[in-house]
Amino acid sequence: MQRTLVLLKPDCVQRRLMGEVISRFEAKGLHVVGMKMLRVTPELSRQHYAEHVEKPFYSGLEEFITAAPVVALAIDGLDVIQVVRDMLGATNGLKAAAGTIRGDFSSSRQMNLVHASDSEESAQRELKLYFRDEELCDYESVM
Ligand code: CMP
């Protein structure tokens, strides 16, 4: 069993797609163990996107991610890191395959609706940025 950090980004919240995206994760049988709406600060953005801070697109990314609330989700499941990334599709919504979340709802490289951790290491790091241990709820799910 793995745990991953998923962020419904400002465009997802503002376009009222939160329920649509969460429904897809639930329909897939994934297990939401944490959920929180918050505003990403510039400091949190720099921590979250540390590997991109020096990239030319970073200032635009920070402006975008801090412009409206996000919803952070902690999600459990077998191989959930790869499963969620497959469900999101390619980073650039224009190139993401039909049937994926970005492929169906995004036409942008920056405003691509959802972020998800790309490895176990980043999942552990990112989960700690958004959730304290006591905010995550372990419970039995029914299939
Ligand atoms: P995400 O999966 O959250 O990881 C980094 C984010 O940076 C990515 O989704 C996009 O929102 C954004 N991003 C990545 N590459 C580019 C780019 N070339 N131009 C603008 N934004 C980008």
Quick check: CB of 57 below 6 Å from ligand 1?
yes
| Number of Cα atoms under 13 Å in the Cβ half of residue 41 | 5
Q: How far apart are CA 48 and CA 55, in angstroms?
A: 14
Strand-pair category, 114-116 with 70-77 = unpaired
Closest by CA position to 45, among listed 13, 70, 21, 22: 70
What pLDDT, on the 0 to 100 scale, is given for residue 103? 98
Quick check: CB of 108 below 6 Å from ligand 1?
no
What pLDDT, on the 0 to 100 scale, is given for residue 82? 98
pLDDT tens-digit series, residues 105-134: 999 999 999 999 999 999 999 999 999 999
Which residues are designated catalytic? 115
On the question of pLDDT at 85 being above 80, the answer is yes
Quick check: CB of 63 below 6 Å from ligand 1?
no
Tell which atom from ligand 1 comes closest to the C-alpha of 64: 11
Q: How far apart are CA 119 and CA 82, in angstroms?
A: 8
| ipTM for the complex shown | 0.93
Which secondary-structure segment (H or E) carries 29? none
Tell which atom from ligand 1 comes closest to the C-alpha of 111: 11
Query: Atom 22, ligand 1: which residue's CA is nearest?
Result: 110
Average pLDDT in the chain: 97
Distance of CA 59 to CAs 10, 54, 62, 85, Å?
Answer: 16, 9, 5, 24
Confidence of residue 61 (pLDDT cuts 50, 70, 90): very high
Ligand 1: centre distance to CA 99 (Å)? 20
Average pLDDT for residues 15-26, to the nearest whole number?
A: 98
Closest by CA position to 102, among listed 117, 87, 116: 87
Domain 2-132 of CATH type 2.40.30.30: no
Average pLDDT for residues 10-21, to the nearest whole number?
A: 98
